[in-house]
Each structure stands twice: as C-alpha cells, then as structure tokens.
Amino acid sequence: MMITKIFSPAETSQAAEEIKLGELVAFPTETVYGLGADATNEQAVKRVYLAKGRPSDNPLIVTVSSPEMAADYIADYGEYGRELIRTFWPGPLTIVFKIKTGSLSSVVTGGLTTAAFRMPENETTRKMIAEAGVPIVGPSANSSGKPSPTTAQHVFHDMEGKIAGILDDGPTKVGVESTIIDLSTSKPAVLRPGGITPQQIEAVIGCSVDASQHKVGAKETPKAPGMKYKHYAPAAQVLIVAPNDWQQALDWAGKQDEKIGVMALTKTLNTSIPKNVVTYDMGGDLASATHRLFDGLRYFDNEQKVNWILACSFEEKGLGAAYMNRLKKSSGDSYFEPQA
C-alpha cells in the first residue's frame, strides 16, 4: 500500500514535486481540503476519480495560483469575468468559463466545452501550485458522497494509502465549498451556493443572477460539482430540525433505543439532554455552524457511530443558503416531523 506523507506548510516544494510526478496530493483551501493532481496530465486526473470513487461525468474544478495561469485556458471571459476575478480572487468563488478548444482533457471537463476555475485564498496552496507550474484539479479530498474534509485528519481517514501526500495547513476557515457561478451562458447563474452570496456578486456586476440552481437530469453532464450526485452523506440518517421543533426532537430522541447524534447551537444544548444522545456544539451563530457542519457529520460517522443525526437549520438566505444546500443533500431533504 502507498504511504501517504504529511507535508507541512514549509514543504510546498516537496508536495509540488509529487504533483509534477503525476501523483495525488491533498491541499488546504479556505473552504475545504481539495484533492490535487496535474490538470494537464490525463492519467493523473483519472486517478483522482479512482481515489474518490467519483462518477466520470462529474467535472472537476481547475485550481490555479494566479489569474494569469487561468488565462492560458479561458477562451471567453464574457461581460463580467474579469471584474469578478478582480473582486473575489483569491477567494471562495469558482467561475465556469468557455475554454480554448483542446486546452484541457475531457477527463477534466466531463466532455463539456466549459471548465470551472478557482484561485484559493490559502497562500500555502497557491505556492505549491506555482512551484508545480501547472494548474491542478481540486475536488474535495473525501470519498465521493461523504462529508467534505475540513482538516488533514479528515483527508487521512478517507485517503490513506490512496494518495502520495497531504499538505497540512490546519483546519479550513469557511467550512463549506466555494460558490460556483456560470458565465458561459447569456445570464450569470449560481450553480452551487457557497461563501460568496448571489447578492455580493450582483453588487459587483450590476445585474441579477439566476440563483435557482437548475436540476441536472440523469443523462445530462453537470457543469460543476454538486449538481447531480448525492453528496455530504454520513452513514447515519440525518434529520433537519426547525428552530421551534427542538424540544419535541429531543423528547423523540430520548424515547429511542438507539444512539442519537445532535448537532445544534450552543443555546439549544444548554438544556436537558437524554442519556442516549451524543452532542456536537455548532457554536453560537450561522457562520460558526457552517464552519463546523462537515466536522460534525464526520464526528458522528467516524467516532460516535450513531444511528440518527438531528441537525439545526437556518433561513435559506446569504450564507444560510450554502449551509442548507449541504445539509439538505446530506439528509436527502429529510426533516424531523413533530407529532401533532
């Protein structure tokens, strides 16, 4: 079995060397950890799909160290591309552009004429990419369908023996993946909500964006990750709990013969908790809960082995839209339903 090395932030050159050799290296961003491979090396990219168990029609984000690196592949910036790059890069915004014919393998693009590009905020990762001298693909560094990794330990749990190394720069800051906006069509459209809200984008480009998140059919190839397949799902069934339903949810949990996990705000946990319930504190507000969401799901999956997970919900606006997008996918859109 391959030995998976842990690289410190001072060892970006060693991590970059592995990338140049066609190996896979997980890397930190401000959102979640990504799984990196040379985006120009078709065989290396194929191994990313294999390591993750990822469907081959699920395209990969191309992660760059600078706007200039992305420019080698982008055919058309559209009306708003350069302004969004100036405003939000480096940062948690991924942009779908039309690409130059033949500039990227169909293994990266899923056979589309577009690709999604991102320049992460994390300086350690940008340094590694610059030292490798090539853009890298960057899907989340987890087994496909499972909660995304926000620490190097999460990555190691899923990828030990499957990849050459992990560039460890501590826990991520945002906790959910980047916003993806499509600029390859006439009207800008948010394909996946994230840390940058539609309102922030609209303020920059001066027009409205389509935030309806078009559903992808079974035979369609999605333009971006997270649009088609089940994501973020732990082994236990997740139930979303509305803010006013927590007392009934805890009463229900206490009557079960099974081990129940509860992911809730601190104020919710400052109450009587049944003995069969294990808690995970999501902090005091939406930003904290978003940062801790995937860590909480993994805590119950990997350490506590619960049968059910009850999780707090928020209004679906701003960052709440990104949080609820991930939570709905992890639960299969299942809610706790109070008994009348």
Residue 331 annotated as part of some ligand binding site:
no
Q: How far is CA 308 from CA 103, 126, 233, in A?
A: 46, 39, 12
Burial class (CB in 10 A: 0-12, 13-18, 19+), 331: buried
Contact by Cβ (8 Å): 107, 45: yes
Residue 31 annotated as part of some ligand binding site:
yes
CA distance 301 to 293: 13
In terms of DSSP H, where are the helices of the chain? 12-20, 42-52, 67-71, 81-88, 106-109, 123-132, 152-159, 198-205, 246-254, 266-269, 286-298, 319-331
Preceding amide of 274 cis, omega within 30: no
CA distance 58 to 228: 8
CA distance 55 to 96: 20
Both tokens of residue 148? 């995304």
Residue 221 has a CB neighbour count (10 Å cut-off) of 17
Residue 232 annotated as part of some ligand binding site:
yes
Q: How far is CA 231 from CA 44, 52, 95, 162, in A?
A: 23, 12, 21, 20
Adjacency order of strands within the sheet including 277-281: 237-241, 308-312, 260-264, 277-281
To which residue do tokens 């293994």 refer? 107
Residue 140 annotated as part of some ligand binding site:
yes
Query: What residues form the annotated binding site for ATP?
Result: 54, 58, 114, 118, 140, 148, 192, 232
Q: Which residues are annotated as a binding site?
A: 31, 54, 58, 114, 118, 140, 148, 178, 192, 232
- Binding site for L-threonine: what residues are annotated? 31, 178
